[in-house]
Structure 1
Amino acid sequence: MISANNVTLQIGKKALFEEVNIKFTEGNCYGLIGANGAGKSTFLKILTGQLDSTKGDIVITPGQRLSFLQQDHFKYDEYNVLDTVIMGNTRLYAIMKEKEIIYAKEDFTEEDGIQASELEGEFATMNGWEAESDAAQLLNGLGIGTDLHDKIMKDLNGSDKVKVLLAQALFGDPDILLLDEPTNHLDLDAIAWLEEFLINFNNTVIVVSHDRYFLNKVCTHIADIDYAKIQLYSGNYDFWYESSQLLAKQMKDSNKKKEEKIKELQDFVTRFSANASKSKQATSRKRALEKIELDDIKPSSRKYPYIDFRPSREIGNEVLSVNGLSKTINGVKVLDNISFIVNPVDKIAFVGSNELATTTLFQILNGEIEPDEGTYTWGITVSSSYFPKDSGAEFNNEDTIVEWLTQYSPDPDMTYVRGFLGRMLFAGEDGIKKVKILSGGEKVRCLISKMMISCTNVLVLDDPTNHLDMESITALNNGLMKFPGVAIFTSHDHQFIESTANRIMEIIPNGQLIDKVSTYDEYLESDEMARKRQGLSESDDEDQDQD
């Protein structure tokens, strides 16, 4: 168990947290939610001891081990992958190294033997002999193959590093597990594995995430940060949302009834206070009036962008035809004879772990790179806009936000441009911020502003939900659902895909395409997905039938 007792954090004149009292108990998974800047990550740092509170304290049940997801992706660059994972249990790793030093001695003494014996006993108690196999199992579950287990961390790409650090946090059955955005940089298969791991985890979990489906799947409670307080709700994210909306409605209804009562009493007092025969009743009404107090209803600190994609031209029947596209990158064939036709009602989600192949296909369709073989043809009525996975070059200049967006606007009028920025929560002075200093989430909101102002009838989006807060993801989700054109996209957000897509495609590791008209959940239960799990292709099945 871990609890916060009267925790206050003062930053300048502002209290980020004020007199917070909350207890996290064993066997539960708590989703920590709140608007951007509410202090979710900061609160986790206070719980882990990385940051001191201004007042109050954190209490952990004596003897319990706390583990958390490291945010410094370079901290373990000189260690190999397996060792990095085992370091999740600091004491166990220290024993392993102490044993190595003792057994490497040439002049092994009796004292060394006694110390080694004690270490071996503690090592066995901590299941040390299973440490490497347990670490390997976690890595494999997250998609880090055995060929990478002996690699040095600095040789891994960013996404794989994150997976290793997540395996480190999960290692050794910690009593308290704190995870800050654990699904970032994970593919959908790894997220599904993590969901199952946490569902079966028997100890205390506190997780910050913008993934609504993930929170619904794993959480038993929601801890909502708003106005420097943390309110605890039983149930998952959807239950929290319904409960908080119901509570707000009940308070509004209660205030409305109170206001009607106040008006009724005030009218009586005004009419009869000077009437001798009614003065006693008027005085009684006045006392009753003084006792009525309206509930203090604070609006949520959450802010939702308004995302509305409106094409300037209706799309025709011919949208996109892809014929035999192939592409090899660094000796690996990432696209192998890909062919498909896009229809005017399609909202296509590309899923699966082969993200390089999807990004490569999107770059080809956007004209950024050439295929090795094959062709693609856009229909004559099509106008498209593209959201790239890596947008760094787009913002590497001295433009202000307004100047940057104006270059994409069909109307250069400043009021018109600022209207689109306002929808994406860039108000007032925000418009003169330099684009090169924007945060990841602000850059994403700029790119969505660009897509809205371009008024195209085809949207190609490569992982747009990365870096967005939950409110922005919800707004983008709603915007795509009502978009009357074609959307081709990829995302790590299960609910985003399930509620938006009507067609699923997956480029499997051999560069070939699975194409199925269905929702995402239907696809996960489909024969195609079953074959993928078994490592079989259609041709394998046919060969077996012929035999």
Structure 2
Amino acid sequence: MISINNLTFEIGSRALYEEANWHIKPGDKAGLIGANGAGKSTLLKLIVGEYSPTEGSISMAKDLKIGYLNQDLLSYHSEKNIVHVAMEAFERQNQLHAEIETLLKKLETDYSDDILNKLSDKQMEFEALDGYNIEFRAHEILAGLGFSEEEQRRPLATFSGGWRMRVMLARILLQAPDILLLDEPTNHLDLPSIKWLENYLQAFDGSIVIVSHDRYFLDRIINKTVESRKGKLTVYAGNYSYYLEEKSLREEIQGNQFKNQQAKIKQEERLIERFRSKASKAKMVQSRIKALDRMEKVDAVDDDNPEVNFSFKFSKPSGRHVVTLENISKSYPNLEILKDTDALIEKGDKIALIGANGKGKSTLLRIVADADKEYIGKSTKGHNVSQTFFAQHQLEALHLENSILQELIAFAPKHTETEIRSILGCFLFTGDDVFKKIKVLSGGEKSRVALAKALTADANFLVLDEPTNHLDMASVNILIQALQQYEGTFIVVSHDRYFLDHVANKIWFIEDKQIKEYPGTYEEYEEWNAKRTVTKQNDKPEKKTVKETPKKEKVVPPEDRQRALQKKNKELQTLEQKIADKEKEVKELEAHLAEETVYSDPQKLQEATRSYNSTKAEYEQLQEAWEQLAEEIMELEES
């Protein structure tokens, strides 16, 4: 299908690719991976002909139809509605449609056989190309990518960059190409749209090459992994998880080969050194020197998985309640986001806020962070809460003329330069990298600097909005390690499911304009939500005859369940404190009964016993009340 042969591509004096090879076959669904700057996007541009190789060749069939999605498509501008923009994919059908309309207009005054025959031919070709269904197919794909019927009637120019990219993706998918080249297709998609795209690509008949940092997305689609590294392309015959296992095995073998070769080289060097001065051994020495020069050297294994070795701490721990939201309502013109909802963030919570775009995630995050004051209700920060808010727009707040090191030192003066360098090393800035000016950094590098700043702030509460955007897999892994070691509280919005599954212990989502909470990991939430969805679909009201008397059951409305849970949990906490206080009283009375002055005096003993029995009974009643309340909470959670 596409053959890359001995490809060399140079940018200035740097060879981005050097004699790289790869053959893309029909049916291949390949993930093209590598660190930022490894040339993944450049390779796609080489394939479509935007760049030309310095040496080598890229060959393919002349009639091969390529669908290419890249971030440059964000600049595409049109005043047409997005259905018409998507339908631009059907070039021949659109041409035929225009010609048919022209012929029909002519037919109003000209009834000649020539016009009728031309019209018949055009209509037959249009029907053969499924022209009458192209608008339906455009609506179907746009709906899958998250566009409502009303939005599909809006001009492309009225949408933000992320939504415009979805329209471009729809147009490419509608072209039904032989091969899809997708450069970060999930960058501007929410979770429901990512899942829809996964299903679409799994069923796609052609070949696919995907550049993506979303390992869950890759695992569900690709059957080959191609690593771009050190100017070469290395193919692994499996998905991303297979690649990790296979690469680990290859590196183990390479490490052993390197170790053995180094031992052999040292042995030969000792032998050469020993006999170098002996004339009788000169021929043998020269022979061994030449053999060492000819030896194909095995490279040492590079560590592509750096570990965080810095502890991200803060000077003051927060109180138990970090943020309390009470009766929060938030609306925009013609759109109600939240209605009279409550929520509580407690010390140690690691919350992932998930959901479709437009459901209010960023709005809720800004309310939590006190960045949005235009709402009804009350948001209260707890005792000793110190906060840092990370959002993509804060990349613009970096001082462009500063070096990376200067930026961190100015922001975190309490840390020594050694500590700052250690932190920057955790975020993949090593050696002289720390002296780079902010203005020359890529988007991903700027994100890493901003994240390093967020984590060095003396904050026990982090609010993180899409921190994984623009990060490669190694950088995402660094962020995961940092947040796993972070001892404070955080709430994060991200569409990277691998990231969420490794950092969150609670899931928040907005449903029916209420903040809902699932107490578990993202993977556990997905399983629970899948079962809940199936249950909702299968739930059908029972048919009742005249003779039946329906059994009345107490049903807690979904919008009230969360509020009831929070109320009962507060009651449970109060009850636990009462139990602890009462238990202390019981122990004090037991000690009082054991005093000689009490048990030796019948009157004192009688009074002390009465007081002890009464307090013990109250303690047992509190215990029973706690068990009853805990059972009610469990029933609410399971309902």
Are residue 225 (structure 1) and residue 231 (structure 2) matched?
A: no
Contact 1:258 1:292 in 2 (8 A): no
Note the 1:54-453 alignment, pairs <5 A.
Answer: 54-70=54-70, 71-105=72-106, 111-263=114-266, 293=295, 295-297=297-299, 306=308, 309-354=312-357, 357-391=360-394, 394-395=397-398, 401-411=404-414, 416-426=419-429, 435=438, 438-453=441-456
**Relative to 1, partners in 2 of residues 1:532 and 1:502: Cα closer, same or farther, differing over 3 Å?**
farther
Greater per-residue helix proportion: 2
Are residue 539 (structure 1) and residue 557 (structure 2) matched?
A: yes
Whole-Å separation in 2 of the counterparts to 1:529 and 1:147? 31
Contact 1:76 1:84 in 2 (8 A): no
Whole-Å separation in 1 of the counterparts to 2:448 and 2:380? 29
Q: Structure 1 residue aligned with 2:514, among 512, 515, 523?
A: 512
Moved more, 321-330 or 109-118: 109-118
Contact 2:351 2:504 in 1 (8 A): yes
Amino acid across the alignment from 2:518: K
Whole-Å separation in 2 of the counterparts to 1:116 and 1:50? 39
Aligned-residue offset at 1:68: 1.4
**Root-mean-square deviation over aligned CA pairs:** 3.7
Whole-Å separation in 2 of the counterparts to 1:371 and 1:150? 30
State the number of aligned residues: 541
Whole-Å separation in 2 of the counterparts to 1:404 and 1:263? 45
Whole-Å separation in 2 of the counterparts to 1:423 and 1:541? 43
Aligned-residue offset at 1:362: 1.9
Whole-Å separation in 1 of the counterparts to 2:141 and 2:439? 38
Aligned-residue offset at 1:189: 0.7
Contact 2:2 2:24 in 1 (8 A): yes
- Give a deviation string over 1:61-115, Cα, whole Å, max 9, x none: 3433211115322324233211221223433333333434443446656555444
Q: Secondary structure at the match of 1:6?
A: strand
Whole-Å separation in 2 of the counterparts to 1:97 and 1:470? 48
Aligned-residue offset at 1:540: 7.0
**Relative to 1, partners in 2 of residues 1:299 and 1:258: Cα closer, same or farther, differing over 3 Å?**
closer
Amino acid across the alignment from 2:124: G
Aligned to 2:565: none
Q: Secondary structure at the match of 1:73?
A: helix
Aligned-residue offset at 1:226: 1.1
- Give a deviation string over 1:152-200, Cα, whole Å, max 9, x none: 1101222221111111111142211111100011001100111111111
Contact 1:305 1:472 in 2 (8 A): no
Whole-Å separation in 2 of the counterparts to 1:43 and 1:111? 50
Give the TM-score of the pair, scaled to structure 1.
0.87
Amino acid across the alignment from 1:441: G
Aligned-residue offset at 1:326: 1.7
Q: Secondary structure at the match of 2:234?
A: strand
Segments of 5+ residues of structure 1 without an aligned counterpart are: 543-547
Aligned-residue offset at 1:367: 2.0
Whole-Å separation in 2 of the counterparts to 1:41 and 1:227? 15
Structure possessing the higher relative contact order (Cα contacts under 8 Å, 6 or more residues apart): 1
Contact 2:258 2:300 in 1 (8 A): no
Aligned-residue offset at 1:468: 1.3
Amino acid across the alignment from 1:539: P
Aligned-residue offset at 1:236: 0.8
Whole-Å separation in 2 of the counterparts to 1:456 and 1:134? 50
Aligned to 1:463: 466
Aligned to 1:545: none
**Relative to 1, partners in 2 of residues 1:155 and 1:264: Cα closer, same or farther, differing over 3 Å?**
closer
Whole-Å separation in 2 of the counterparts to 1:93 and 1:372? 48
**Relative to 1, partners in 2 of residues 1:188 and 1:210: Cα closer, same or farther, differing over 3 Å?**
same
Contact 1:523 1:529 in 2 (8 A): no
Contact 1:26 1:202 in 2 (8 A): no
Whole-Å separation in 1 of the counterparts to 2:418 and 2:391? 27
**Relative to 1, partners in 2 of residues 1:296 and 1:527: Cα closer, same or farther, differing over 3 Å?**
closer
Aligned-residue offset at 1:221: 0.4
**Relative to 1, partners in 2 of residues 1:16 and 1:439: Cα closer, same or farther, differing over 3 Å?**
closer
**Relative to 1, partners in 2 of residues 1:17 and 1:270: Cα closer, same or farther, differing over 3 Å?**
closer
Q: Secondary structure at the match of 1:515?
A: strand
Amino acid across the alignment from 1:94: Q
Whole-Å separation in 1 of the counterparts to 2:556 and 2:46? 53
Whole-Å separation in 1 of the counterparts to 2:486 and 2:516? 25
Whole-Å separation in 2 of the counterparts to 1:170 and 1:164? 10
Whole-Å separation in 2 of the counterparts to 1:271 and 1:297? 27
Aligned to 1:526: 528
- Give a deviation string over 1:116-172, Cα, whole Å, max 9, x none: 444333333332222111111111111111212222110122222111111111114
Moved more, 403-412 or 485-494: 403-412
Note the 1:484-499 alignment, pairs <5 A.
Answer: 484-499=487-502
Contact 1:305 1:425 in 2 (8 A): no
Amino acid across the alignment from 2:83: L
Aligned-residue offset at 1:8: 2.6
Contact 1:304 1:472 in 2 (8 A): no
Aligned-residue offset at 1:308: 5.2
Segments of 5+ residues of structure 2 without an aligned counterpart are: 540-554, 561-639
Aligned-residue offset at 1:386: 1.3
Whole-Å separation in 2 of the counterparts to 1:429 and 1:19? 29
Whole-Å separation in 2 of the counterparts to 1:130 and 1:383? 57
Aligned-residue offset at 1:227: 1.6
Amino acid across the alignment from 2:251: A
Whole-Å separation in 2 of the counterparts to 1:448 and 1:295? 39
Whole-Å separation in 2 of the counterparts to 1:54 and 1:489? 44
Aligned-residue offset at 1:382: 2.6
**Relative to 1, partners in 2 of residues 1:519 and 1:202: Cα closer, same or farther, differing over 3 Å?**
same
Amino acid across the alignment from 1:88: A
Note the 1:24-63 alignment, pairs <5 A.
Answer: 24-63=24-63
Whole-Å separation in 1 of the counterparts to 2:435 and 2:294? 47
**Relative to 1, partners in 2 of residues 1:539 and 1:412: Cα closer, same or farther, differing over 3 Å?**
closer
Aligned-residue offset at 1:248: 1.8
Moved more, 408-417 or 49-58: 408-417
- Give a deviation string over 1:491-542, Cα, whole Å, max 9, x none: 010111112111111113x421221112212212325884599699973799
Q: Using the aligned pairs only, state the percent identity.
A: 32
Q: Secondary structure at the match of 2:373?
A: coil
Whole-Å separation in 2 of the counterparts to 1:51 and 1:273? 53
Give the TM-score of the pair, scaled to structure 2.
0.75
Contact 1:497 1:520 in 2 (8 A): yes
